Amino acid sequence: MARLNILKLAHLARPRTHEGAPAKSISVEQALRRSVLACLLWESQFYEDGVEIAGRVRELVPKVDAAKVAALAVEAREVMKLRHAPLLLVREMARHATHRGLVAETLARVIQRADELAEFVAIYWAEGRAPLSGQMKKGLAAAFPKFDEYALAKYDRAGVVRLRDVLFLCHAKPRDAEQAEVWKRLIDGTLATPDTWEVALSAGGDKRTNWERLLAERKLGALALLRNLRNMKDASVSDELVTGALAAMKTDRVLPFRFLAAARYAPQWEEALEQAMVRSVEGREKLGGHTVLLVHGGSAAGAVGDAAHGCSVRSRGAVAGDRGEGERLHLFRRAEAGAGAARFRVARCAGSEPAARRNAAGQGAGGAR
């Protein structure tokens, strides 16, 4: 028979990192923030898989004050531009009586794209179909009228949950007769075909003509524009139209690495891409002191080196400090030095230093400078 009278000291053990090093103890609220804001939901990280991270979020939600969880969901969507993590937070809030009162308000705010209506219901039904609570119905009903016919047609994708299903479930009320007609077409499956780049290219015809029309009419979103620059290059699209579109694109929801990836495949537009990338971080809070990037020169040196190059060259002034004021960005490159030992070489980049010195310091792993 197992003994129960055993002294348990596990709670006194100091927390450790995944590598076994001592770690700092943090509150449950801090743990929830880190889990939500430092991951793309259900996508695995180096030390943890996505399912484990989602499970930790579920465990932590009831331990944090409801208002703070709701605020975190809004921050994750509006500041960090995450899409699925805020939906999971709201779904978990709905499980607990202490948190349910804020579900409708929070859900209506974090749903900002039409497909998120169906995605939320799919998350709710992931463990089996169950009736939606009143708070969920209110939140979905408040969010549904945000979207026009173009958005509904674009994001009414085939899946377990369709947008018409959400409409039936939440009983949303249209703002006016015009929106009521749009919703009737949604139910009947007769929405107007959206003029997206996928539809335009699948219809055939000259690719250059299609791309140039979409650019001239500003029909391409930011990510669609960045991801298709190589296709535009191959189709010999007008430089003037491309640079004009890059100058006019909305960058508030685009992360800097997207511009670096685009420049890798369309280097002739690198200057315009750099200007757009700098716009994407304008207005962000400046980082105080010095910025340090640690880049490992191992098997991933190519991809990491490219990113480090972009950070070291473009973050000066845009993130680390104002241009021309001598703010320094340090890049440490890890270099193997026999018998598994390692050393770090330092590249000091500053707007006031000669270009020759910066270039000389950059000879290393992955071309990082």
pLDDT in tens, 19-63: 888 888 889 999 999 999 988 887 887 888 888 889 999 999 999
- Higher-confidence position of 221 and 345: 221
Q: Is 90 in contact with 107 (CB distance < 8 Å)?
A: yes
Q: Are residues 272 and 309 in the same domain?
A: no
Query: What is the reported pLDDT for 297?
Result: 57
Query: What is the reported pLDDT for 325?
Result: 44
Q: Is residue 250 domain-resident?
A: yes
Four-CA torsion 99, 101, 105, 109, nearest 10 degrees: 10
Q: Is residue 137 domain-resident?
A: no
Q: Is residue 330 domain-resident?
A: yes
- How many distinct structural domains can be found in the chain? 3
Q: Domain range spanning residue 70? A: 26-110
- Across 299-365, where does the E strand assignment appear? 328-336, 342-350
Q: Is residue 139 domain-resident?
A: no
Q: What average pLDDT does the segment 82-108 reach? A: 96
Point out the least confidently predicted range of 91-95, 161-165, 321-325. Answer: 321-325
> Of the candidates 110, 136, 152, which is a domain's last residue?
110
Query: What is the reported pLDDT for 67?
Result: 97
Q: What average pLDDT does the segment 99-115 reach? A: 97
Judged by DSSP in three states, 277 sits in helix
Cβ neighbours of residue 363 under 8 Å, at least 6 residues apart?
Answer: none
Q: Are residues 257 and 207 in the same domain?
A: yes
Token pair for 212: 């140039």
- Higher-confidence position of 354 and 235: 235
Q: Are residues 301 and 326 in the same domain?
A: yes
pTM score: 0.73
What is the pairing mode between strands 291-296 and 328-336?
A: parallel
Q: Are residues 336 and 296 in the same domain?
A: yes
pLDDT at 354 over 80: no
Q: Are residues 298 and 266 in the same domain?
A: no
Q: Are residues 353 and 300 in the same domain?
A: yes
Q: Are residues 277 and 318 in the same domain?
A: no
